Copies of this chain bind each other. A is one copy, B any other.
């Protein structure tokens, strides 16, 4: 077993004190002779010295770490989100620790505590298994900043969100422009705030266009996964009057594709489908998925920026970022001819 090289070893090798080494290595060594400086720097590389993280953080009280809680890394939406976060984190010399909580409140709480234990500086929470209140209860006493996004948005504090309400509007308007009047909505079996806004936008536009929420709209709730979408089709086909379906996210749309295909129902000729998210995969399905695109990577980046800014300047005034969404009309929706 090789003992780790410590600052002591390095100081000894350089024939200086640990103070000297520490200062030089931390960029505070202007006052030392160029000679000493070079000697230390070289030795550091040569001896492969890496400062001990724990010792360092113990005294610095910062682990240069942020935590990220998502419901499901398997969903491309979240893996793209993570990419955005990772980019900004890296630029700021922060490390993100990512947990996928699988919509399991128990697990989520467990991870939350682990993260607190590690004294992360901040947290980005995109998962809503546990409520904002509980999160606050755990995080606040430990002075950990956090940002709730996507599933877990709230009104107060720093906010980074996409315009879900408008996204819902766009989706409805698109279907209505195509003369659809009987529409199915495939929604989550546990609605979070962002999803509620999304639906609200959708429904408001429907109402404005004389589409009756009671008689013209079919709502089907299911888990927000490919399988959930797939299973929702069983219910969907019980409503033959429906000519278009809005799925609350792209992953469910993919499930719907499969369900319809297995029943020989053609998209878009028998049934138009519009999704939500704008994941890369949508373009690879046949027909290419019409959807509402969120700027996912951007959402990740902005979230990280806002959080880190808060971490670095606790007193900065409330930050609000609103990102636009857009309709991406592709092949899965078409004119209603019935």
Contact = CB atoms under 8 A, between A and B. Distances in A.
A98 to B, nearest CB: 5
Interface string A84-97: 00100010000101
A45 interface: no
Interface string A273-298: 00000001101111000000000000
A74 B83 contact: yes
A286 B262 CA distance: 10
A76 interface: yes
A73 B63 contact: no
A52 interface: yes
Given A2-B141, A50-B142, A118-B53, A95 B97 contact: yes
Main SS at interface, chain A = helix
Copy tally for this chain in the complex stands at 2
Contact of A140 (B2, B63, B95, B286): B2
Interface residues of A, number: 54
A36 B166 CA distance: 59
Given A55-B58, A280-B226, A113 B74 contact: no
Contacts of A116: 50
A95, A110, A113 — most chain B CB neighbours (10 Å)? A95
A74 B226 CA distance: 16
A86 B114 CA distance: 13
A51 interface: yes
Given A63-B54, A79-B73, A286 B284 contact: no
A139 B310 CA distance: 35
A90 B86 CA distance: 23
A117 interface: yes
A28 interface: no
Contact of A1 (B100, B143, B286): B143
Contacts of A5: 141
A301 B120 CA distance: 27
A284 B254 contact: yes
A141 B226 contact: no
Contact of A4 (B142, B226, B281): B142
Contacts of A86: 99-100
Nearest to A256: B284
A57 interface: yes
A119 B118 CA distance: 13
Given A58-B58, A74-B79, 4 more contacts: A4-B119, A50-B117, A54-B57, A226-B284
